[in-house]
Structure 1
């Protein structure tokens, strides 16, 4: 690996005979990228972004055995070695061998080992036989490429949030955030059999997108979501106390804003505290939303190091379970690929996936930052445009 902005110095010179070069077919703009662009992380200037990568194999290293030139593949955003204890336990989000500083790594992401991102024409993927999910039929893959492009991150991440929250047949579910991850979580909740899926957000355009595929919605700018959730659940809720959901998912993360009169004020613990309030005793909360250990733009000194005023006592009293951290994409991506290929889910439609050329990425970032109800997919070689 060569030196460059954000590359971990201990990784410079690292040999990757197990890697491949991909011609980028699709590389998505993610809300996590947006945090770095806003200056809300310690990411250095010049870091090549892009951890949501779908590509065509154009070259393979001498140690690559099973992946072939011409394969169309999905790249999990987690970089993992397949050899360490955590990888063998399917905890690929905290691989022990790819980031010299700490467990866990990702392409084009701050403090994640310095591997170069995929918002480019070509990208190198290490440990290719292990990391890559090969699509079984090239033509079929290209026909469904916008859906399959969601397998790199947001679809498994949303699904992981729901699985972590115990969503199953008949569940009532509240999802905080109607951005792409929140919409992917809502899609996943239906796929898992939820009876009611409620999505809360401040952005009415994004809430309309959630309603377009059957979600109930709560505009938290109108106040605390509890009363609105109560109206939606009605008699199907628990008999004791206010109606509460079985499961909740935080798809917002550390740049959360308040509710009602505080909707314009950043309050990073708001979502977590409201989910503990809304979730029934014995329920579970999945937290795929990003929380960081370094936030230069944090609202106070505590927030700048990821320390938030969370009502843990409330969660403890209600016996809530919490699952945090990166989604281990490889745990879910093949099964979700099969759901896409066999028309059991329309994830691209639900998140309003929109392909744009690579040179329009800056405008895509600006529009997304302003709340556009879209999931922008960069198309460096025009391979998606030819299909639409």
Structure 2
């Protein structure tokens, strides 16, 4: 095959669908590819026919021009697909398998991978620990918002679904395993939440909604979601969450109206560096969520921080913000003996267990995040509507496999 339709970053505020080369088991030069990775042979890799690839809030940061992403970077790190070719060194994955792809690329050989810290693999990105598909400064691995994609280290990275027919039926739920479901779950686990906990999730985008659903799965007594988007707050209420509208002022007071006290046991930051201050007409203030959560979390509690923070933000509000230097009230967190967990979710710590929860009807994650299927040619519209605050998780359908599927 010669062509491959894919979604590429064009300029701030714009993506386009273009034809790129069909993938091979060798990393080619292209936008964002680390020079040291060009020509890297992947005999351990596979080629996937992409069955579903999701638009992520992390992609949106790039598309807004809030990173140093180059023009032409092929987007997409949330990939579910069918194996159509496997490299000569692949042993446990076969052609025809339907698989979930963790967004973090891991070699399975380095110290961090052997310690299950697959979000910071030492061998896949020459610039820094950790890599991802279709993301700026993450090694230049070509993104999966495309018809076909190459996945390295297949035996280690891929989660094979046990039954093809069942996987097809539940594909809208299973496609969330590549990123947002494990990421939301990781945020809740690292916040220390469990049976009987009160949990506050800042942000009602897809990751925040996934975190809220995860808190329910883990047995939380009360899950409160905060945002300033009425549609997204309504989506959180649709599956049993309490909500607070941060545009209406003090969050602690609103939490007290729900719980009888202004603090929670555990808190999750699902917003990240493009946070805004609380109250009406609040302006961007990138440390707002972190500082707010330290105030709202009980002494001895913890903060899970799956929301993205970057080292380079060209659109930052000041010189500190442009380098990811934020004015965080660490003294408050220290005084309350808080624990903080940041960084990429190590997807492989969670994805098999979450797959089983989906397959056995313990969670309906596609319904929680309002999964919405669109064609790959409609990706620019999906990005635009998502940027305008649509309470939907857009799922690209490059081969029509998702036709007729609805969240249940």
Q: TM-score, normalised by structure 2?
A: 0.92
For 1:45-68, what per-residue CA distance to the aligned partner results, in whole angstroms no more than 9, with x for missing partners?
100000000000000000001100
Partner of 2:274: 255
CA contact (8 A) 2:172 2:405 kept: no
For 1:164-197, what per-residue CA distance to the aligned partner results, in whole angstroms no more than 9, with x for missing partners?
0001000000000000000000000000000000
Give the alignment of 1:1-388 within 5 angstroms.
Answer: 1-234=27-260, 237=261, 243-263=262-282, 265-387=283-405
CA contact (8 A) 1:21 1:59 kept: yes
Pairwise CA distance, 1:111 = 0.3
Pairwise CA distance, 1:262 = 4.5
CA contact (8 A) 1:142 1:387 kept: no
CA distance in 2, matches of 1:38, 1:244: 34
For 1:99-123, what per-residue CA distance to the aligned partner results, in whole angstroms no more than 9, with x for missing partners?
0111000000000000000000000
3-state SS, counterpart of residue 157 of structure 1: helix
CA distance in 2, matches of 1:59, 1:185: 35
For 1:211-266, what per-residue CA distance to the aligned partner results, in whole angstroms no more than 9, with x for missing partners?
000000000000121100010001xx4xxxxx310000000000001111343x10
Partner of 2:18: none
Pairwise CA distance, 1:136 = 0.1
3-state SS, counterpart of residue 96 of structure 2: coil
Pairwise CA distance, 1:298 = 0.2
Partner of 2:9: none
Pairwise CA distance, 1:31 = 0.2
Taking only aligned residues, the RMSD between alpha carbons, in angstroms, comes to 0.7
CA distance in 1, matches of 2:153, 2:31: 22
CA distance in 1, matches of 2:114, 2:404: 39
3-state SS, counterpart of residue 104 of structure 2: coil
CA distance in 2, matches of 1:335, 1:157: 13
3-state SS, counterpart of residue 6 of structure 1: coil
CA distance in 2, matches of 1:300, 1:96: 32
CA distance in 2, matches of 1:66, 1:151: 20
CA contact (8 A) 1:175 1:250 kept: yes
Q: TM-score, normalised by structure 1?
A: 0.97
Q: Which runs of structure 1 show a deviation greater than 6 angstroms over 4 or more consecutive aligned residues?
A: none
CA contact (8 A) 1:221 1:259 kept: yes
CA distance in 1, matches of 2:284, 2:263: 25
CA distance in 1, matches of 2:170, 2:29: 36
CA contact (8 A) 2:277 2:284 kept: yes
CA distance in 1, matches of 2:312, 2:170: 38
3-state SS, counterpart of residue 261 of structure 1: coil
CA distance in 1, matches of 2:103, 2:320: 29
3-state SS, counterpart of residue 302 of structure 2: strand
3-state SS, counterpart of residue 280 of structure 2: helix
Q: In the comparison of the two structures, how many residue pairs are matched? A: 380
3-state SS, counterpart of residue 376 of structure 1: strand
Partner of 1:240: none
Partner of 2:16: none
Pairwise CA distance, 1:91 = 0.3
For 1:277-323, what per-residue CA distance to the aligned partner results, in whole angstroms no more than 9, with x for missing partners?
00000000000000000000000000000001110000000000000
Gaps of 5+ in 1: 238-242
3-state SS, counterpart of residue 260 of structure 1: coil
